[in-house]
């Protein structure tokens, strides 16, 4: 009887040990997958900052294979596609990020940029307004909304409305010359719009961890002498605010 009880206790202990081992292994496996996805996403963000958009997309696809619901990877893929001027595809990925985080102001702002690139300033303004509802002080959305409003005013001007009068009043040569000017104006306006959108798109330095509050880097820069010297040496053409994706201060903070 004692032998049977001993065997029974050993069996129970063995089962409990196996269960605990499997639970710990499963947890470690999940943690490794999460870490791998975050690492790939951060590397891709650095590539986006250096405008290596296709390489970034390749990394982000791998991150999303690990975790299809990695909201930052979804957003960053949209950002990279926007950099390649694939506006419609970019919108799809911004929307996927917004499904998981409906208050993701960066995704709202960048979706507005994509719509602006598709010559849809009215819808772009809608998304800039949504971003500003969540964060009224979000500078990029404020500036991009102004750009969209300016583009909307330009769309109200239709030189083609006056073509019939041109045919009635002018001879052939001035008409051809006038059409050339219209074509040149539209081409120049489109080029300027694309450059403006790109200029207003947030760019961050490769050392910045998107998971951290930008204030973390500002505090280190203004409080740690060695950190400030390192940054100024390696990024002489950037302010610390620009490096973390913020607007530079109007007045230099006191050290």
> Per-residue DSSP letters for 55-114?
HHHHHHHHHHHH-TT-HHHHHHHHHHHHHTT-HHHHHHHHHHHHHH-TT-HHHHHHHHHH
Its CATH architecture, for the domain 1-96, is Alpha Horseshoe (1.25)
Distances in Å between the Cα of 197 and the Cα atoms of 28, 80, 230 are 43, 14, 31
Give the closest residue to 144 by CA, choosing from 187, 95, 106. Answer: 106
pTM score, whole prediction: 0.52
Instruction: Please give the CATH architecture assigned to the domain spanning 102-200.
Output: Alpha Horseshoe (1.25)
Contact by Cβ (8 Å): 25, 6: no
In this chain, the answer to whether the domains covering 1-96 and 102-200 adopt an identical fold is yes
Average pLDDT over residues 29-39: 57
Locate the domains of the chain by residue range.
1-96, 102-200, 204-255
Say yes or no to pLDDT of 88 above 60. Answer: yes
Q: Is 90 a residue whose pLDDT tops 80?
A: yes
Give residue 20's pLDDT band: very low, low, confident or very high (50, 70, 90): very low
Give the integer Cα–Cα distance in Å for 51 and 105: 22
Residue 68 has a pLDDT of: 93
Q: What is the per-residue pLDDT for 169?
A: 62
- pLDDT number for residue 33: 42
Q: What is the mean pLDDT of the chain?
A: 80
User: With bands split at pLDDT 50, 70 and 90, how would you rate the model's confidence at 118?
Assistant: very high
> What local confidence, expressed as pLDDT, does residue 22 receive?
43
Does 102 score more than 90 pLDDT?
A: yes
Identify the residue with better confidence: 156 or 238. Answer: 238
In the predicted model, is pLDDT for residue 194 greater than 70?
A: no
């Amino acid at each position: 009887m004692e032998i049977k009880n001993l065997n029974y206790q050993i069996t129970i202990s063995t089962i409990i040990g196996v269960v605990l081992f499997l639970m710990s292994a499963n947890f470690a496996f999940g943690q490794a997958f999460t870490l791998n996805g975050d690492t790939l996403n951060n590397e891709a963000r650095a590539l986006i900052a250096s405008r290596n958009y296709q390489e970034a997309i390749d990394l982000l696809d791998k991150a999303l294979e690990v975790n299809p619901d990695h909201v930052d990877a979804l957003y960053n893929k949209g950002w990279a596609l926007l950099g390649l001027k694939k506006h419609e595809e970019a919108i799809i990925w911004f929307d996927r990020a917004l499904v998981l985080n409906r208050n993701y102001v960066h995704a709202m702002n960048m979706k507005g940029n994509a719509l602006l690139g598709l010559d849809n300033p009215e819808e772009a303004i809608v998304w800039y307004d949504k971003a500003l509802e969540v964060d009224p002080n979000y500078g990029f959305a404020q500036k991009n909304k102004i750009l969209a409003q300016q583009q909307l005013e330009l769309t109200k001007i239709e030189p083609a409305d006056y073509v019939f009068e041109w045919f009635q009043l002018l001879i052939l040569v001035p008409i051809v010359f006038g059409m050339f000017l219209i074509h040149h104006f539209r081409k120049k306006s489109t080029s300027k719009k694309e450059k403006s959108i790109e200029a207003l798109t947030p760019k961050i330095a490769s050392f910045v961890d998107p998971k951290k509050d930008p204030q973390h880097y500002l505090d280190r820069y203004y409080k740690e002498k060695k950190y400030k010297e390192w940054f100024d040496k390696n990024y002489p053409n950037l302010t610390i605010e620009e490096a973390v994706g913020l607007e530079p201060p109007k007045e230099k903070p006191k050290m």
